[in-house]
Structure 1
Amino acid sequence: MKQMIKIIRKVDIEKQYEHVLRLELDYELASLYSAMQGNDEKEMEKCKKRLKEIQDELDGLHAYV
Structure 2
Amino acid sequence: MRQTVKIIRKVDIEKQYEHALRLELDYELASLYSAMQENDTKEMERCKKRLKEIQDELNGLHAYA
- TM-score greater than 0.5 by the shorter chain: yes
Give the CA RMSD over aligned residues: 0.1
Secondary structure of 2:39's counterpart equals coil
Question: What residue ranges of structure 2 are gaps of 5+ in the alignment?
Answer: none
Please report the TM-score for the alignment, with normalisation by the length of structure 1: 1.00
Q: CA deviation at 1:33?
A: 0.1
Quick one: distance in 1 between partners of 2:19 and 2:64? 16
Quick one: distance in 1 between partners of 2:41 and 2:3? 50
Which string of whole-angstrom CA distances, capped at 9 and with x for unpartnered residues, describes residues 5-35 of structure 1?
A: 0000000000000000000000000000000
Runs of 4+ aligned residues of structure 1 deviating over 6 Å after TM superposition are none
Quick one: distance in 2 between partners of 1:57 and 1:40? 26
Please report the TM-score for the alignment, with normalisation by the length of structure 2: 1.00
Question: What residue ranges of structure 1 are gaps of 5+ in the alignment?
Answer: none
Q: Percent identity?
A: 86
